[in-house]
Amino acid sequence: MKNEGLTLRMGKRELSRFFLTVLIFCVLLLIYVKYKNIHECLGPAAPFVDIKTVHKYNINCSAIYHMDSVEVHKSVTIRQKHIVEDNDENLIYLTLNCSLFRKVRGYDDVCVSDEEKDFPIAYSLVVHKYPWMVERLIRVTYSPSNIYCIHYDLKSSLRFIAAMEGLSQCLPNVFITSKREDVIYDGFSRLKADLNCLSDLLQSEVKWKYVINLCGQDFPLRPNIELVSELKNLNGSNMLETCRPPQFKKNRYGFHYEVRDAEFEYKKTPVQTSKKKAPPPHNIEMFTGSTYFVLSRDFVVFMNASVVVRDFLAWSEDTYSPDEHFWATIVRLPGVPGEVPRSHPDITDLMSKTRLVKWSYLEESLYPPCTGLHVRDVCIFGAAEIHWLLSYGHWFANRFDTNVDPIAVQCLEEKLEERKNIFQSIAARHSL
Ligand SMILES: *[C@@H]1O[C@H](CO)[C@@H](O)[C@H](O)[C@H]1NC(C)=O
Ligand SMILES: *[C@@H]1O[C@H](CO)[C@@H](O)[C@H](O)[C@H]1NC(C)=O
Ligand SMILES: *[C@@H]1O[C@H](CO)[C@@H](O)[C@H](O)[C@H]1NC(C)=O
Ligand SMILES: *[C@@H]1O[C@H](CO)[C@@H](O)[C@H](O)[C@H]1NC(C)=O
């Protein structure tokens, strides 16, 4: 493998500048202190700043946030010409030394309020690529009291898997799900991946209050302390999209589907057969929504024990994209903890705060245009959108890609850190 791991990798000019700085520093030290201190300036602290993690761009995020045109223009130039791809192997190497990893990435310094300690949140992360993004997602939502289940796809690269194993070795509250799926887009296995994590999370000693599922291209719009306060306000109810199915979606469970090789893009996909499907068991009324949820612990415990849910799950196995009707339907079952009553009006993706997604066909009418890039109908956010994202009121957003706009992610991280500090100082003042 062509990688120097933790050793320095610098150009000649940088190297000489580095040594010059070190030299000046040492000379100054020598003047003020005795010889015995020399080793301190060349000791373990020196490589620390040079450990390769994610590339940090020289940009003023405060100006980006306030949509300063000069700074936004600068960010566009960077993303068009100077994207530095983060190296997966650096993460693998860094997690070989856990104490170093935690120190460099700040996990040991995360400070949490009492409210956060008393309100653990569980995460189900269904991921398959971009290991650094997974690490950043964990880091930005991190509290030592939270718990993270990672489901990586059986098709993931060995490098990706090694990085995920590394994260789980170094962070005691991060684990890999006990059962992993070969995830087929729009197939039952996508739903199964989350169910595997939920089942492991229920077994965990951490008595989490809510569980949130995320994918590798999501990013939060609220720091942990604010999420805790928002989740408390739910008073035990669940939050997710759940709507009466439009006619075209009824076919998704009106016929049997079979997984077949797809012609384009995805290797396999469920394909509609001519065989009509029986209606769902137990007279269940169907609703549709999203893969993504915010569920209370009581709801998940109920789900785990319910025969109705078990039968419905089995029935869903040969439907199209069951993740998009499974959660939306069972949250409307009469009597479930945190139930959304069947008579309750539709809860759309813009009402439920779980996930903010910009669809190209709704831009201009529902929200400002995408400043990043469209991939099919979805906007990959650009840096100029972070003000809008943070002001909208949602808790998470999709989609981010550091190969499209790394500044958007970097500046979100910075703003979330700021918000966290503000909220924590308010919380500290209240508890005095
Ligand atoms: C960054 O931008 C903000 C707001 O535009 C400005 O007040 C601040 O001085 C800038 N910081 C630096 C280091 O240039
Ligand atoms: C791991 O990193 C620490 C610094 O945090 C260093 O002191 C230690 O020697 C490293 N361990 C190994 C095995 O390299
Ligand atoms: C939770 O209860 C509080 C206080 O009773 C109320 O203001 C709030 O609207 C409730 N939240 C939900 C989601 O029902
Ligand atoms: C979940 O269901 C399994 C099997 O029915 C059961 O053994 C387990 O105790 C349940 N877990 C919880 C936390 O209820």
Mean pLDDT calculated for residue range 215-219: 96
Nearest C-alpha neighbor of 281 from the set 337, 319, 241: 319
Positions marked active-site: 324
CA of 24 to the centre of ligand 3 (A): 61
More confident residue, 118 or 82: 118
Given ligand 2 and candidates 49, 53, 97, 107, which is best to mutate, with the most ligand atoms within 8 Å of its CB? 97
Question: Of all residues in the chain, what percent are helix, strand and coil, respectively (each to 5)?
Answer: 45, 15, 40
Q: From the CB of 301, is ligand 4 less than 6 Å away?
A: yes
pLDDT for 277 equals 92
Nearest CA residue ID for atom 3, ligand 2: 100
pLDDT for 48 equals 56
Q: Are 346 and 242 in contact (CB under 8 A)?
A: yes
Cα–Cα distance measured from residue 190 to residue 150, given in angstroms and rounded to the nearest whole number: 13
Q: From the CB of 230, is ligand 3 less than 6 Å away?
A: no
Which ligand lies nearest the alpha carbon of 236? 3
pLDDT class of 111 with cuts at 50, 70, 90: confident
| Ligand 3, atom nearest to 235 Cα | 1
Nearest CA residue ID for atom 5, ligand 4: 305
| Ligand 1, atom nearest to 60 Cα | 1
pLDDT digits over 311-337, tens only? 999 999 999 899 999 999 999 999 999
Q: From the CB of 310, is ligand 4 less than 6 Å away?
A: no
CA of 236 to the centre of ligand 3 (A): 10
Nearest CA residue ID for atom 3, ligand 3: 233
- For the ranges 148-162, 187-201, 255-269, the lowest mean pLDDT is seen at 255-269
pLDDT for 428 equals 80
> Residue 228: CB partners within 8 Å, gap ≥ 6?
115, 116, 119, 121
CA of 194 to the centre of ligand 3 (A): 28
Task: Report the chain's C-alpha Rg in angstroms.
Answer: 24
- For tokens 């000489």, name the residue: 16
- For tokens 């009581």, name the residue: 298
Percentage of residues of the chain with pLDDT beyond 90: 69
CA of 98 to the centre of ligand 2 (A): 8
Nearest CA residue ID for atom 10, ligand 4: 304
pLDDT at 153 exceeding the cut of 90: yes
CA of 47 to the centre of ligand 2 (A): 11
Cα–Cα distance measured from residue 190 to residue 70, given in angstroms and rounded to the nearest whole number: 42
pLDDT at 243 exceeding the cut of 50: yes
Cα–Cα distance measured from residue 246 to residue 269, given in angstroms and rounded to the nearest whole number: 22
Q: Spell out which residues line ligand 2, taking CB within 6 angstroms.
A: 44, 97, 99-100, 103
Nearest CA residue ID for atom 2, ligand 2: 100
Which ligand lies nearest the alpha carbon of 58? 1
pLDDT for 20 equals 58
Cα–Cα distance measured from residue 312 to residue 330, given in angstroms and rounded to the nearest whole number: 9
Cα–Cα distance measured from residue 127 to residue 145, given in angstroms and rounded to the nearest whole number: 22
Q: Are 84 and 73 in contact (CB under 8 A)?
A: no
Q: From the CB of 68, is ligand 1 less than 6 Å away?
A: yes
Mean pLDDT calculated for residue range 165-193: 94
Q: From the CB of 234, is ligand 3 less than 6 Å away?
A: yes
Domain ranges of the chain: 1-50, 92-236+291-316+354-430
pLDDT at 75 exceeding the cut of 70: yes
CA of 304 to the centre of ligand 4 (A): 6
- For tokens 């994590």, name the residue: 197
pLDDT for 432 equals 57
Q: Are 427 and 115 in contact (CB under 8 A)?
A: yes
